[in-house]
A and B are shown apart, each in its own frame.
Chain A
Amino acid sequence: MHWSDEALVLGARRHGESGVVLELMTREHGRHLGLVHGGRSHKLQPVLQPGNSVHATWRARLDEQLGTYTIEPATSRAARLMTSPLALYGIATLTALLRLLPERDPHPDLHAMAEALADHLDEPDLAGPLFVRFELALLTELGFGLDLASCAATGATRDLAFVSPKSGRAVSAAAGEPYRDRLLPLPGFLIGQPRGNRPSPQELDHGFALTGYFLDRSLYDPQGQHLPDERARFVALAIKQAE
């Protein structure tokens, strides 16, 4: 068995004295692990940092085996990300969220979004809004997508202002007003606000609160886990830098 694919490095765990078990988010093969002989060498260690993109070739005798990777660097982002705390907490959160995906289950769209997000994690204007959109896409890919196209009560497609925490569907401002303390605010940048417009810190806060609520309720809480600590630090910095 063997294949080659593009991938984002999620992390590497030591294996023996010189090897590592590498975790990649590949384009066609999903989140996939494999052994890298000599992965702790001076040559490979900088390449196998989370956030870098690589060309990976995986080989194994049987499909169900861990297999071994041969790695070639494609895009080195780690050194740039290291200069920004926002980017570092962002990459830690991004890799933690991608670990929610089952192994070897292809999610090419999510891979593309993760690559784009990794490219912009050190840009305060883009990192926050892109991250909220990535979390929405992750929820959708895992079967817990939100329906933000029309109002759950009236069917209206305009003036949407809330999200129902029960159904995950949008609610218009008029229909939601009597229940506003029980609904989650829906920030404008998620529903048609022109792309050039920068979301306000409050909108960003609402965006992260929205995705955080559903990530916790649908994915983390059922497993007895909490949202990663790094996410809270990333959100705090993203909101602070949006001010």
Chain B
Amino acid sequence: MSRSVAGPEIERLIQLMARLPGLGPRSARRAALHLIKKRETLLGPLSDAMRVAAERVVVCRSCGNVDTSDPCTICTDAKRDPSLIVVVEDVSDLWALERSGAVPGRYHVLGGVLSPLDGVRPEHLNIEGLVSRASEPGVGEIILALNATVDGQTTAHYVTERLSHLPLKITRLAHGVPVGGELDYLDEGTLSAAIRSRTAF
């Protein structure tokens, strides 16, 4: 059994950091030591930032995004196209699309995808909220930006069914060759999808 090399406060910091994604016990120990060494410039500001975030972060009641205000910054942004809603599985997907800068509209976070294996059913997802938002006047298009997995696309079809009674244009992201992708290394399924979705050049 390994002995503790520091007091309980530091051990607790290491234990908590080891629960973060990408960090194991050894890397958590190294990160904790780095924070302690940079106490004034890193540890203090980091702990303040985390305390403020813990106090102020809320889930947007409109779209399901996380922010420090409700409705969130994206929902209240007057420059965004109110007729376009992009449906994503998780906040991380929303952030990824925002990094691309390609979405002029607003988002809706489902909070997961349908999964018989994990027992995730429609009532566990924020689908009712989407139907309610899509029914509002002025909404013209819903983009289903869900993962190209069997569960993701099953969810996309289910959402499409739920929205089918509304006069909306429903689209989904294209499936095919990624930028920088070499055909030789792509699986047959992706290649067939790319051929099926080919566009005029």
Contact = CB atoms under 8 A, between A and B. Distances in A.
Bin chain A's interface residue count: 20 to 34
B192 A96 contact: no
Interface stretch (B51-59, B85-93, B114-122): B114-122
Contacts of A70: none
B189 A89 contact: no
Contacts, number: 72
A77 B192 CA distance: 10
Interface string A1-43: 0000000001111000100000100000000000000000000
Contacts of A77: 189
Chain A interface, DSSP helix/strand/loop, else mixed: mixed
B116 A82 contact: no
Given A89-B154, A92-B154, A79 B118 contact: no
Interface string B35-75: 00000000000000000000000000000000000000000
Contacts of A11: 115-117
Interface stretch (B3-11, B95-103, B131-139, B145-153): B145-153
Interface of A: 10-13, 17, 23, 45-47, 49-52, 73, 76-83, 85, 88-89, 91-92, 95-96, 228-230, 233
Given A82-B148, A82-B150, A85-B157, A230 B116 contact: yes
B117 A95 contact: yes
A51 B150 contact: yes
Of residues A12, A17, A46, which shows the largest number of chain B Cβ atoms within 10 Å of its Cβ?
A: A46
Interface of B: 21-22, 114-118, 121-122, 148-151, 153-154, 157-158, 160-161, 175, 187-190, 192-193, 196
Nearest to A85: B157
A17 B22 contact: yes
Contacts of A17: 21-22
Given A76-B187, A79-B192, A85-B157, A13 B150 contact: no
Given A78-B150, A82-B175, A88-B150, A13 B189 contact: no
Specify which of B160, B187, B188, B193 lies most central, judged by the most chain A CB atoms within 10 Å of its CB. B187
